[in-house]
């Protein structure tokens, strides 16, 4: 058996850019390096799960390292890794300190020392806060309302002092010819309240001269976080989306939305990224049915690569129709709910095909009885549930031949993971 090569989910580099992300990279690098760009400046990279946000952040970082190595302190922060932390500011500032501490010339020793002192103070404040909360008795609760105004003033004062301390450090780095760039990724994997907490920390403490922030976001996840945070205020549902827009508008100066992949980009990526022989004759089918999402395309190609090896190594599978294999793999990746029901009732696959090819009417039981006999009612009900659920069903079933291979469908499904 020949070696199997599959695709990783890791962000790709500048030098292996099959999806032309460099069309975003050069303009973004130009914004960051142009001396006329005023700071603070925050760039939001918006896109769905798997659309390439991490890849874009990595490519910008790589380009800055290659072409402008002495102009930036590049800090990467993954909030999901720190999701167990009570708040995100400590690990965020720790990432900056650690990055400065890695400098081989030890040019930032004094800044590292001062950041260490800031972090110690913050950690102490957090510990004190926990002790105070734990030790509050019922008798003390009545006094808390009287202390609120004074406490609020203290918090505001601490915030101002911390902002000033961080601004001083950013200015000190700028005097050495360095600006700070924070790359914040995987935020949309965090809980909604953590997402908002981090965004607020960024706005409060990183909105500084000589500081850039690039943050990858899925807009709908931010909206969900906003709705969780502001639900107690009783805002109407439609207004919550408006709040999300206004919230991001106040902190992001450049919102960049990743374009969906074009058909030609999908086909070029498929042909360049896989060695699976069964894929090449069916690229046109994949163009029409696969989601325009790099991560999902990789999953489809990986499963097709392994499935091809299974077919080649198993006697009796040489007669399987590769076109059906391709369509079933896409279905397995993009509609796991339907695939699970099809494994239980393979006839459902035939029913959906007949409905989409207008050979069967969803609401007419007799047609189902003629074709599916004792399974008719269950198949009809399942078909109703899935009819129109996913857009890619239209091209997937439009010219498929599942019904003609009905007797062999259990074999196909078992091989693919049913």
Whether 97 shows a pLDDT value over 50: the answer reads yes
Q: What would the mean pLDDT of 91-119 be, rounded to a whole number?
A: 85
Q: What would the mean pLDDT of 200-223 be, rounded to a whole number?
A: 87
Closest CA to 349 of 396, 281, 285: 396
Q: Please tell me the predicted confidence (pLDDT) of residue 15.
A: 58
Token pair listed for 89: 């500011």
Q: What would the mean pLDDT of 376-405 be, rounded to a whole number?
A: 96
| 388 confidence band (pLDDT: 50, 70, 90) | very high
Residue 237: CA count within 13 A, CB half-sphere: 0
For the stretch 364-380, pLDDT in tens is 999 999 999 999 999 99
Task: Please write down the HEC assignment for all residues of the chain.
Answer: CCCCCCCCCCCCCHHHCCCCCHHHHHHHHHHHHCCCCCCCEEEEEECCCCCCHHHHHHHHHHHHHHHCCCCEEEEEECHHHHCCCCCCHHHHHHHHHHHHHCCCCCCCHHHHHHHHHHHHHHHHHHHHHHHHHHHCCHHHHHHHHHHHHHHHHHHHHHHHHHHHHHHHHHHHHHHCCCEEEEEECCHHHCCHHHHHHHHHHHHHHCCCCCEEEEEEECHHHHHHHHHHHHHHHCCCHHHHHHHHHHHHHCCCCEEEECCCCCHHHHHHHHHHHCCCCCCHHHHHHHHHHCCCCHHHHHHHHHHHHHHHHHHHHCCCCCCCCHHHHHHHHHHHHHCHHHHHHHHHCCHHHHHHHHHHCCCCCCCCHHHHHHHHHHHHHHHHHHHHHHCCCCCCHHHHHHCCCCHHHHHHHHHHHHHHCC
Please state the domain extents for the chain. Answer: 20-128+162-257, 263-416
State CA 340 to chain mean position distance. Answer: 25
Token pair listed for 26: 């050069």
4-13, 55-64, 131-140 — which is least confidently predicted? 131-140
For the stretch 118-175, pLDDT in tens is 777 777 665 445 434 444 444 444 444 444 444 444 445 667 778 888 899 899 999 9
Closest CA to 86 of 198, 186, 205: 198
Q: State residue 365 phi and psi, 5-degree precision.
A: -65, -35
Sign of the four-CA dihedral 360, 365, 369, 375: positive
Token pair 């994949």: residue? 286
Sign of the four-CA dihedral 198, 199, 204, 208: positive
Neighbours of 9 (CB within 10 A): 11
CB-based contact 21:59 (threshold 8 Å): yes
Q: What would the mean pLDDT of 77-94 be, rounded to a whole number?
A: 84
CB-based contact 279:286 (threshold 8 Å): yes
Q: What would the mean pLDDT of 370-396 be, rounded to a whole number?
A: 96
| 11 confidence band (pLDDT: 50, 70, 90) | low
Whether 40 shows a pLDDT value over 70: the answer reads yes
Q: What would the mean pLDDT of 225-242 be, rounded to a whole number?
A: 64
Closest CA to 46 of 222, 179, 168: 222
- Rounded CA gap, 18 and 9, in Å? 14
Whether 227 shows a pLDDT value over 90: the answer reads no
Q: What would the mean pLDDT of 333-348 be, rounded to a whole number?
A: 95
Q: Which residues contact 250 (CB under 8 A, 6 or more apart)?
A: 203
**CATH topology for the 20-128+162-257 domain:** Rossmann fold (3.40.50)
- Rounded CA gap, 120 and 162, in Å? 12
CB-based contact 153:192 (threshold 8 Å): no
**Maximal C-alpha separation, the chain:** 82
Q: What would the mean pLDDT of 375-387 be, rounded to a whole number?
A: 96
The side-by-side arrangement of strands in the sheet containing 254-257 is: 72-77, 179-184, 211-217, 41-46, 254-257
N- to C-terminal Cα distance for the chain?
24
Q: Please tell me the predicted confidence (pLDDT) of residue 407.
A: 94
């Amino acid at each position: 058996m020949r070696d199997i090569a599959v695709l990783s989910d890791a962000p790709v580099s500048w030098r292996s850019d099959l999806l032309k992300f460099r069309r975003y990279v050069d303009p973004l690098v130009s914004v960051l390096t142009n001396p006329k760009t005023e700071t603070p400046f925050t760039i939001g990279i918006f896109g769905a799960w798997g659309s390439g946000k991490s890849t874009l952040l990595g490519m910008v970082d790589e380009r800055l390292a290659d072409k402008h190595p002495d102009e930036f302190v590049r800090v990467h922060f993954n909030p999901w890794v720190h999701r167990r932390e009570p708040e995100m500011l400590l690990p965020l500032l720790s990432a900056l300190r650690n990055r400065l501490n890695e400098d081989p010339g030890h040019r930032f020793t004094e800044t590292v020392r001062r950041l260490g002192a800031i972090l110690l103070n913050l950690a102490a404040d957090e510990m004190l806060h926990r002790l105070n909360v734990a030790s509050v008795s019922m008798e003390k609760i009545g006094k808390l309302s009287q202390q609120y105004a004074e406490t609020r003033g203290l918090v505001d004062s601490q915030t101002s002092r911390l902002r000033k301390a961080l601004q001083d450090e950013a200015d000190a780095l700028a005097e050495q010819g360095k600006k700070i760039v924070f790359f914040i990724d995987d935020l949309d994997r965090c809980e909604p309240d953590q997402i908002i907490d981090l965004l607020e920390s960024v706005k409060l403490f990183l909105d500084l001269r000589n500081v850039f922030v690039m943050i990858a976001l899925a807009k709908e996840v931010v909206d969900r976080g906003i709705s969780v945070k502001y639900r107690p205020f009783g805002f109407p549902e439609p207004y919550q989306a408006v709040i999300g827009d206004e919230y991001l508008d106040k902190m992001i100066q450049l919102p960049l939305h990743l374009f969906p992949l074009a058909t030609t980009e999908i086909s070029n990526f498929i042909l360049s990224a896989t060695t699976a022989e069964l894929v090449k004759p069916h690229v046109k089918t994949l163009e029409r049915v696969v989601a325009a999402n790099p991560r999902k395309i990789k999953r489809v190609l990986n499963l097709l690569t392994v499935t091809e090896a299974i077919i080649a190594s198993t006697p009796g599978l040489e007669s399987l129709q590769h076109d059906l294999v391709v369509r079933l793999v896409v279905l397995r990746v993009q509609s796991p709910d339907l695939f699970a029901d099809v494994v239980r009732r393979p006839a459902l696959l035939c029913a959906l095909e007949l409905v989409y090819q207008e050979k069967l009417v969803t609401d007419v039981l007799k047609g189902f009885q003629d074709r599916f006999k004792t399974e008719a009612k269950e198949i009809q009900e399942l078909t109703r549930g899935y009819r129109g659920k996913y857009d890619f069903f239209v091209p997937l079933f439009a010219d498929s031949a599942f019904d003609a291979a009905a007797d062999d469908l259990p074999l196909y499904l078992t091989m693919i993971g049913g």
